Every structure is written in structure tokens, then in C-alpha cells.
Chains A and B, each alone.
Chain A
Amino acid sequence: MSEHMGHPDGPTPLERFLNGILPENPVYRQILGICPTLAVSNSMESAMTMAGAVAFVLVSSNLVVSLIRGLLKPHLRILVFTLTIATFVTVADRFLAAYMHEMSRKLGPYVPLIIVNCIIIARCEVCAAKQSVITAVADAIGQSLGFALAMATIATVRELLGFGTWFGLSVMPKAWPAWVVMILPPGAFITLGLLMGAVNWIGAARAGKSAGGGGEAKKA
């Protein structure tokens, strides 16, 4: 706990960083940012590009919002957040279009839709608008890693079952019948629903074990 910088109210930067990854995972725990999670998770490559873009925008906008937190007016703050985010999303979008053109075309409207990604607005509102710069950045990095983890799990399941590949490399045996439905929209919804159930189930089982009572939760 050497990172303890004297925050009597609330968790330290390190705790916030760790919280973002699993205990307060943005997708599985807070149910935020569902739109990109479903839309671009049919291959690992696009999922990781999206996670990188979200991480860049989240860290930069948390940093800026934390720097200007003294100037924010309550009734204008959401507008200030979204305009800050929109600026950084424009940067990320132009960067992707310039250096990763194919991927930028594949992600299509989902890069600009990062502007209205609830994870970023929620972190600006809950953390960055109230905390110092170091805390805000630590929180943003933790949340981005949590989002990347969630994207990676969903994309792994969908790409393995749908294409039989992982990061474009063949993994499944040749005879594997590709489940086309996993690539299509229904596969995204059902995978995310089942993974949410699995995460809750594991969480409940662990909580039950540490409390002494057997986890009574059972899987469908």
C-alpha cells in the first residue's frame, strides 16, 4: 500500500485500479458499454482494437476532466464530458483511419459510438469529476483493463465457436462445423448472457464458500 496518498474518503488509487478489473468489471458487474461489447466481439482482432481505442479515450478524458474538475458547473457537466470525449474519439478515429485502414472500415460506426459509451461517461461522473489526477488515471486504467478482459472473453468464445480460429489462427480441428449463429447478432446476445450468468455463479459460489454456507446457486 505504498501508493496510499492520503485519501480518507474512498479507496486508494491502487484499490481503484484493482477494483476496475474484476470486482467492479464494467461489463459483467456494472452492465455498461454493452453496445461495443456485442457489436465488435466476433473476432479477437477487432475486439482488441476496440478495447485499445476505449482505453485511450477513457484515460485521456478522465485525465482532462480531473484537471478541469474545479471549473465544472453541475447543469453543464454531462455536456462538458461528452464534448471532451468526442474530441478524443475524433483523434482515435482519425488515427485508426490513417494507420489501420482495414480495421477502421470493419469497426465502422462503432468507433464514433465510443462517444456515448456509458463506461466513459460513468467514470467521468463517478470518479474523475471528484478525484485527483492520479486517482482518476489509475481508475481509468483499471476500468479499461476490465473492459479489455470482458471483450477478450466474449470474443474468444465467439471466434472459437464461430470461425474455429483465435486471432485469425486455426485452433479447432478441421472437421469443426463453424457455428454461423455465433458470428450473427443472436450469438452475441446469448454468449454475453451465459457469460454473465457464469461470472455471477462463480462470484456467488466464492462468496458462499468464504461465508461458510454452501453456494446454493445452480446453473440452468
Chain B
Amino acid sequence: MNHLGALLLLAINTALINNMVFHFFVGNCPFIGVSRRIDTAFGMGCAVTFVTAVAAMLSWTCTYFILAPGAPLTTWAWRQFNPTSQAVVDLSILNYVVYIFLIAAAVQLVEMYVRKFFPALYKAFGVFLPLITTNCVILFVCLEIMKHVSGATGPLYWGPDEALVYAVFAGVGFLIAIVIMAGIRQELDHCDVPKPLRGAGITMIIAGILALAFMGFTGVDKGLEAMFGK
């Protein structure tokens, strides 16, 4: 299969089949907390998609050039001081600290950019924008990219294009999930939900039913692969 087809499959796989919320359970806090109204849910989903894309590009660059075992920049710096050393320099112990720092930086960047150029959007996001720092979707995407850059070579290796597609469609998957949930919850306002289940309880049960529905996408990638040929 050609490169574009592989990217398309990766996109469908990330957004629908292995949906962030319904398959990996990441991003559940905003999924429960910010899914009361469709417009705020849509805004939150877009913000997460954007930040994920920025953070993924930053973390791919950092992993590839600095953190991965035998990364070019680190090796070069090491050789400056130890010209005769043949050791493989591995900084991957710093991965988590660096990713958290990059995510916080990306959120700050996006916040400043949005405040400068889209003041209306900035007001609509309000407190949600800084809270994205602690959204698991972004860290999950960074970790997944790390797994495919350091340690894995051959077909598992991800270049910047795969990393970007993965990040954007992880965000789109989250957007789809949170908008569906907000739509259902708006209708739910008119229903007589048993009192103990009101709020988070019924939301979790609906999420379970939606997860069942999303399980129906299993195998779509195999079908598409067969349809387009190898």
C-alpha cells in the first residue's frame, strides 16, 4: 500500500476504531465535565485537537533529535567532550519530564496566540484552555509517538507525517466523542433520570453504550485494506 493510503488507514484507526475516549479511556475528565452543551464541547474538542497537534510536533522533534537512544544532537554533544567514546547515549529517562514541559509550553503558546488573534474564541474557552495541560489525550499521544520513534525501527517507525496525522485524528476522535455526548446530555435534561444516577452516573452508562457502538468499527481497517489492496 502506498504512503497516503497508510496514513488514511492510520487516521481512521485512530479516530474511530481505537477512539481515545471509548477505547483507551483517556480524556475522561473533560469528557464528563465539559459535555453539558454542544457549543462548549465543540470548542473544547477543537482546542484539544489543536494543542495535541502542536505538542505532538514538539515532542516528535525532541524525541527524534534529543531523547531517543543514539539521537543525533545528543550524540554530537557527547562526542564534543568524549571524542573517543563509542557509547550509545540514551536520555529516555527524561522523557516524562520533558513531555510535560512541552505540553505546558504548547498550551501557553496556543493561549497567547488565541488571545491575540481570536479574542472572541479566547473568551469562549475561558478556564478550559489552561486546564488542557492536564488532559491525558495529549500526554497519551506523546507517549505513543515516543514508542514509535525510540526503540522501534522498520514498519513501526513513525516520521513527522505519521506523528502529525496520529495527533490530529486523536484529537478528532476526542471531538467526535465529546460532541456526541453533549448532544445526548442536552436531550437528557428533559428526561426523568433516577436521582442517584444524575450527573456522572448516567453519563458513564451512556458512555458505556456509546463504547459498545464504537466497537462496531472493529475490523473496518482490515476491510479497507482488502478493498484498496496491499
Contact call A189/B211, Cβ cutoff below 8 A: yes
Measured between beta carbons, the chain B residues less than 8 angstroms from A197 are 194, 196-197, 201-202
**Chain A residues whose CB sits within 8 angstroms of the CB of B140 once the complex forms:** 109, 113
Please pick, from A89, A109, A201, the residue contacting B196 in the complex, using a CB distance under 8 A. Answer: A201
Interface of B is mostly: helix
CA distance A197 to B195 in the complex (A): 8
* Contact for B25 among A35, A87, A121, CB less than 8 A: A35
Query: Does B28 lie at the interface of the complex (its beta carbon under 8 Å from any beta carbon of A)?
Result: yes
Contact partner, A190, options B25, B196, B205, Cβ 8 Å: B205
- The interface residues of chain A lying within 8 Å CB-to-CB of B202 are 193, 197
List residues 78-129 of chain A with CB under 8 A from any CB of chain B: 78-79, 82-83, 86-87, 89-90, 93-94, 109, 112-113, 115-116, 118, 121
Chain B's nearest CB lies how many Å from the CB of A75?
A: 10
B194→A39 contact, CB < 8 A: no
- The number of residues on chain B lying at the interface, defined by a beta carbon within 8 Å of a beta carbon of chain A, is 43
Q: How large is the interface on A (under 10, 10 to 19, 20 to 34, 35 or more residues)?
A: 35 or more
B152 to chain A, nearest CB (A): 14
Contact present for B201 and A109 (CB under 8 Å): no
Q: Across the interface, which residues of A come within 8 angstroms of B7, CB to CB? A: none
B113 within 8 A of A: no
Taking a contact as CB atoms closer than 8 A, the residue among A39, A83, A93, A121 that contacts B101 in the complex is A83
Shortest CB-to-CB span from B15 to chain A, Å, is 16
Min CB–CB distance B78 → chain A (angstroms): 21
A193:B205 contact, CB within 8 angstroms: yes
Q: Is B120 an interface residue (CB 8 A)?
A: no
Q: Convert B178-201 into 0s and 1s, putting 1 for each residue whose CB lies closer than 8 angstroms to a CB of A.
A: 000000000000000011110011
Closest B residue, CB atoms, query A113? B136
CA distance A116 to B200 in the complex (A): 20
Indicate if B29 sits at the interface (CB-CB under 8 A).
Answer: yes
Give the A-B contact count at a CB cut-off of 8 A: 135
Judge whether A90 and B22 touch: CB under 8 Å. no
Which of A86, A94, A184 is within 8 Å of B97, CB to CB?
A86
Complex contacts, B139 vs chain A, CB 8 Å:
112-113, 115-116
Contacts of B87 in A (CB 8 A): none
Point out the residues of chain B lying under 8 angstroms from A201, CB to CB: 196
Contacts of A5 in B (CB 8 A): none
B25 in contact with A109 (CB, 8 Å): no
Pair A196/B197 contact, Cβ less than 8 Å = yes
CB-CB < 8 A to A188: which residues of B?
25, 208
- Closest A residue to B28 by CB, please name it: A34
Given contacts A190-B209, A196-B201, A218-B195, 14 further A-B contacts (CB under 8 A): A31-B29, A79-B133, A86-B100, A112-B95, A112-B139, A113-B136, A116-B134, A116-B135, A184-B211, A185-B22, A185-B211, A193-B208, A194-B201, A197-B202
16 pairs, A vs B, C-beta closer than 8 Å:
A34-B25, A38-B28, A79-B104, A82-B133, A83-B101, A116-B134, A118-B29, A189-B211, A193-B207, A193-B208, A196-B196, A196-B200, A197-B201, A217-B194, A217-B195, A220-B197
On B, residues with C-beta under 8 Å from A are: 22-29, 32-33, 93, 95-97, 99-101, 104, 130, 133-136, 139-140, 143-144, 194-197, 200-205, 207-209, 211-212, 215
